[in-house]
Amino acid sequence: MTTGTSGQTHLSSVQIDVLRQELQEQLARRRGHLAGLQEAASEGTGADETWQELSVSIVTADRAVAELTQALDRLAEGRYGRCAECEAGIPFERLKIRPLARYCIACQRRHEAA
């Protein structure tokens, strides 16, 4: 469970399990997608516009895999679900919709406004 600076838990073990499963499923899908893109790239000539688009897709998929892996690492370390800026607990409802959310809504709005 994730605990705050006051020691209070803001996510239940059931919520953690739901989020872990969602992150693991997304990671499996993204890894499969990345493998398919890499296979397609290895078969290409690298000379046309399609290959360039494929390269961008590979970078994007690789970044998504890294972000999901980092989220699972934070979950294992007990840091998942805490705002990276103010350390407030991110509500389960937000994490369920955006499992990779790193900021609470207030800090996210500040980042978007900057």
Q: How far apart are alpha carbons 104 and 69 in whole angstroms?
A: 20
Please give the model's pTM, rounded to 2 decimal places: 0.81
Q: Would the pLDDT of 63 be above 70? A: yes
> What pLDDT score does 9 carry?
57
Give residue-wise pLDDT tens across range 6-28. Answer: 444 589 999 999 999 999 999 99
Residue 5 pLDDT more than 50?
no
Q: What is the model's pLDDT at position 40?
A: 86
Residue 111 near residue 92, CB atoms below 8 Å: no
Query: 37-60 pLDDT, tens per residue?
Result: 999 888 776 666 787 889 999 999
- The residues, any chain, with a CB within 8 Å of residue 30's CB and separated by 6 or more, are 61, 64, 65, 68
pLDDT, tens digit, for every residue of 79-107? 899 999 999 999 999 999 999 999 999 99
pLDDT at 46: 60
Of residues 40, 31, 37, the one with CA closest to residue 57: 37
